[in-house]
Amino acid sequence: MGDVARGWVSSRLPAFVLFASVLVLWEGIVRLAEIPAYLLPAPGRIVLRIFTDWSSLSGNVWVTVQAATAGFLLGTSLAVFLAFVFLYSKTVENAVFPWAIIIKTIPIIAIAPLLTIWLGFGIAPKIAVAAIACFFPTLVNVTRGLRALDREIVDYLQILGSTPRQMLVHARVYNALPLLFAAMKITVGMAMIGAIVAEFTGANLGIGTIIVNAGYRQDATLLFAAIFLSSAATLALYYTVLALERVALFWPESRVDH
């Protein structure tokens, strides 16, 4: 085992120990206090349920993950595109930015049923809600990143007679990258929440439908199983973004760490 690996293990160890302790404590309390499973199921029971219902649970989580990912990509792309437009036209920014704020203030839960009415019970409304959920933070961060170059770097490029396009490709894009990733690390989770919320208000498939049905039936064990799996899926998405960040932010001092 190399030093790097050993360092990784020792830095993660406290988190693993705490996580395991909480599970053991939870299991112990539920058993000793004889708490009924319809109130609070023990972790062992939840894990067992995940295994018995695996094909239904995993299939539905996968549907939600697909919608969340598509929405995340759509919302992020739109935000990045708009940030570039803002860079070239202050007028467009002044006209559009208030709308972005209005969209941000609308509760996701309130537009989800509306989008279901408009877009049907398939994947489309989920993608739309997920996209809306991750649009605003990315727009704000990337706009700032493209603009807020170091004054001396701007001065320097200006003395060289750089064109706006050269300033963009040599400096502004890189300056915006750390802020883009900082936003994406937050919004990837919001996309997942958005997709699940959209499934609450009417969908045939997805972990959100499982949650709603389990709620009706007061099946706490299934609810926990769904929560566990969607958390795991969100975590997987988060670490995908993190891995991309490792590649994209190749220079030192570039990472706005979590």
* Site for another protein, rule CB under 8 A: 150, 152-153, 155-162, 166, 170-171, 174, 177, 250-254
Instruction: Please report how close the Cβ of residue 80 comes to another protein at its closest, in angstroms.
Output: 18
Q: For another protein, which is the closer residue by CB, 8 or 156? A: 156
Q: For another protein, which is the closer residue by CB, 157 or 212? A: 157
Instruction: Please report how close the Cβ of residue 214 comes to another protein at its closest, in angstroms.
Output: 48
Handedness of CA 165, 81, 152, 178 (dihedral sign): negative
What secondary structure does DSSP assign to the chain, as a single string?
A: --HHHHHHHHHHHHHHHHHHHHHHHHHHHHHHTT--TTT---HHHHHHHHHHTHHHHHHHHHHHHHHHHHHHHHHHHHHHHHHHHHHH-HHHHHHHHHHHHHHHHS-HHHHHHHHHHHH-SSSHHHHHHHHHHHHHHHHHHHHHHHH---HHHHHHHHHTT--HHHHIIIIIHHHHHHHHHHHHHHHHHHHHHHHHHHHHTS-SSSHHHHHHHHHHTT-HHHHHHHHHHHHHHHHHHHHHHHHHHHHH--STT-----
Instruction: Please report how close the Cβ of residue 185 comes to another protein at its closest, in angstroms.
Output: 19
Q: For another protein, which is the closer residue by CB, 65 or 157? A: 157
Instruction: Please report how close the Cβ of residue 177 comes to another protein at its closest, in angstroms.
Output: 8
Q: For another protein, which is the closer residue by CB, 156 or 239? A: 156
Instruction: Please report how close the Cβ of residue 173 comes to another protein at its closest, in angstroms.
Output: 9
Whole-angstrom distance, CA of residue 204 vs CA of residue 168: 45
Instruction: Please report how close the Cβ of residue 145 comes to another protein at its closest, in angstroms.
Output: 12
Residue keyed to tokens 């990837």? 188
Instruction: Please report how close the Cβ of residue 150 comes to another protein at its closest, in angstroms.
Output: 7
Q: For another protein, which is the closer residue by CB, 62 or 174? A: 174
Q: For another protein, which is the closer residue by CB, 157 or 203? A: 157
Q: For another protein, which is the closer residue by CB, 219 or 245? A: 245
